[in-house]
Structure 1
Amino acid sequence: MCKSLNKISCPRCHSQNLYRFGKDKAGNQKYQCKDCRRQFTLEDCKGKKNRILRGYPRCPVCGSGTYLHHDYEYYSHYTCNSKKCGHSIYVAKPINIPSASCELINGKTDFKRMRFPLFLILTALNLYYLNASSTRRIAQFFKITYNVKVSHVTIASWCKKFAPIFLSIANKLTKNLDLSASDEWHADETVVFINGKKHYLWLIIDSENRMVLGFNLSPSRDASQAFALFKSASKFGCPSAIVTDRLGSYNLATKTIFNTSKHIKVQSFKDDISNNLIEAFNDTFKDWYKRKRGFKSFESANTLITMFIFHYNFLRPHYSLNNLIPVQVACILDDEKNINKYLLSA
């Protein structure tokens, strides 16, 4: 390369790997970039010497600049300027991505001014979510065991109204949790009925500690719901791989939000890596859900599912984890005494 070309850079990718490419009609010297094949003259570069790439990312493969290929509602698609490379980059727009339903919980944030003692309320919640007991059977249990008369309607309200408290406890304990070292996160969706209408419960779970990292309840299975689910789980890091079924809604969401993770699409049960882990959770959830005979409203369903997942992550021992709780495997809490301490101090 001629020394006089050292101070000249390509106006598209800023590469200095250039060579002279004849002259234009006005007699100006033309240059061509060896990386992106852009042809230009010095007249074209006037006023662009200090040009910034408009905030566009550089290609992680060859280091060249990129151009905006498509701009969508939830993400932007950039393509490498180098024709030899042509690598695609997907950048999410977190502000535009809707929030998952697990983040839309509002209500009472403490146990103050309750008529009944706290241990009675926690016992009722454990019986309802861990043992799948009905509210009438729990009321009967309190009458026989403690000689305390509690209406089944009161117990039903307990199962819903304290969801914000448990959600705040979960957020506080997992605030600094980083699961980027995990091999796989599994994502799937299952059907629930709300007031007789079909809805989809999207779930994502860590393969190593069995923690449910997020959920999203929606009436459809389009890509926006997958974006919402992955956005809520991205606060825990970026795993080595995302395992899903062949639903097309996961494709762009995985490329955009978990762009460094390998996307594994399960083809059949004979594959080396399957989605049996989250299917097992779906069986556990459905065993509890079918006893409720569906949900009456979206808000009620969202609240009850939040409480169920809290008990699954923080209170339920798992046989596959040697009877440990997922938060113990994730090293968030050492033992059950610490968990009960957080509940009693809420």
Structure 2
Amino acid sequence: MTVEIVHCPNCSSKEVSRNGKTRHGKQNFKCRDCGRQFVLNPEWKPITEEQKELMSRMLLERISQAGIARVLQVSEDTVQRYVNSQAAAVKKQVDVTPKEKKRLNVQMDELWSFVDSKGNQQWVWLALDAQTREIVGVHIGDRSAVSQAALWDSIPPVYRQCAVIYTDHWSAYDSVLPSKRHQSVDKDSGLTSYIERFNCTIRQRVSRLVRKSLGFSKKLENHIAAIWRFVHHYNANLQL
């Protein structure tokens, strides 16, 4: 009878002892040298760099996390852990091409969304450069003047100094934006058409924002990160 010699996958030591059973009934082993616990032929395997790259690209499309798990044949928990790690790392500041101090045209609008339940409304405030089509400001919060002020603070200084801002007639804009450079316009004027078109784009590309979808956010941090991730992707592709 041949006795299989078990090696530790961490340090390759042969000093391995049996250490009970896992909750799935598999034999558990423990290395006496490094203390690593393991099973032979584990079903769970860490995701590869290639899978991470595919996951990042699919998160930019209209694909739910459950759908990503099915495509990559990994668990939903694995996808969720990756999303959480990416949410913590995403940059929450716009990257735009440098602008000269001259007249700039900015369009602003707010987009309704929710987290966990429709009672927890989270408005996506956006500012767009009408010449370059870049998103130059982002804030996620309520629909008050406080959130509008946060959007105003999020845009680069050159826009705060030089831009003429076009918005709809929502009262929060009047209380924050410089009155001499702010113009409230009707939708049929065409002066907010680019930002309204971007609203359609982001709703179609970010599954968390799709109306009547099951792919909604359960954590505010992940909701905010998904929006910022797409904004960075959108601006980067404009500059190609």
1:279 aligned to 154, 175, 196, which one? 196
1:150 aligned to 41, 53, 74, which one? 74
Q: Which structure 1 segments of 5+ residues have no match?
A: 1-114, 143-148, 315-324, 329-334, 336-346
Is 1:264 the counterpart of 2:183 in the alignment?
Answer: yes
- Which structure: larger Rg? 1
Residue type of the partner of 2:116?
A: N
Residue equivalent to 2:70: 140
Q: Are 1:135 and 1:155, in contact at CA under 8 Å, matched by a contact in 2? A: yes
Matching of residues 247-262 of structure 1 within 5 Å? 247-255=170-178, 262=181
Shift of 1:183: 3.1
d(CA) in 1 for partners of 2:62 and 2:103? 31
Residue equivalent to 2:17: none
2:55 aligned to 124, 128, 151, which one? 124
Residue type of the partner of 1:133?
A: I
3-state SS, counterpart of residue 203 of structure 2: helix
Percentage identity across aligned positions?
Answer: 21
Residue type of the partner of 2:82?
A: W
Is 1:190 the counterpart of 2:111 in the alignment?
Answer: yes
Between the two proteins, the alignment pairs up a number of residues equal to: 188
Q: Which structure 2 segments of 5+ residues have no match?
A: 1-45
Q: Are 1:190 and 1:202, in contact at CA under 8 Å, matched by a contact in 2? A: yes
166 and 236 in structure 1: CA distance in 2 versus 1, 3 angstrom threshold: farther
159 and 181 in structure 1: CA distance in 2 versus 1, 3 angstrom threshold: farther
d(CA) in 2 for partners of 1:308 and 1:245? 24
Residue equivalent to 1:104: none
Shift of 1:152: 2.6
Q: Are 1:160 and 1:303, in contact at CA under 8 Å, matched by a contact in 2? A: no
Residue type of the partner of 2:192?
A: N
Shift of 1:225: 1.5
d(CA) in 1 for partners of 2:165 and 2:183? 6
Shift of 1:181: 4.3
- Give the TM-score normalised by the residue count of structure 1: 0.48
Shift of 1:239: 3.9
Matching of residues 1-346 of structure 1 within 5 Å? 115-129=46-60, 131-142=61-72, 149-167=73-91, 174=96, 177-178=98-99, 180-181=101-102, 183-196=104-117, 197=119, 198-219=121-142, 221-237=143-159, 238-255=161-178, 262-269=181-188, 271=189, 273-287=190-204, 288=206, 289-290=209-210, 291-314=213-236, 325-326=237-238, 328=239, 335=240
d(CA) in 2 for partners of 1:177 and 1:164? 27
182 and 205 in structure 1: CA distance in 2 versus 1, 3 angstrom threshold: farther
165 and 199 in structure 1: CA distance in 2 versus 1, 3 angstrom threshold: closer
Q: Are 2:113 and 2:124, in contact at CA under 8 Å, matched by a contact in 1? A: yes
RMSD, matched Cα: 2.8
157 and 308 in structure 1: CA distance in 2 versus 1, 3 angstrom threshold: farther
d(CA) in 2 for partners of 1:133 and 1:194? 17
- Give the TM-score normalised by the residue count of structure 2: 0.67
3-state SS, counterpart of residue 167 of structure 1: coil
Q: Are 1:185 and 1:239, in contact at CA under 8 Å, matched by a contact in 2? A: no
Shift of 1:188: 0.7
Shift of 1:231: 0.7
118 and 306 in structure 1: CA distance in 2 versus 1, 3 angstrom threshold: same
Q: Are 1:205 and 1:212, in contact at CA under 8 Å, matched by a contact in 2? A: yes
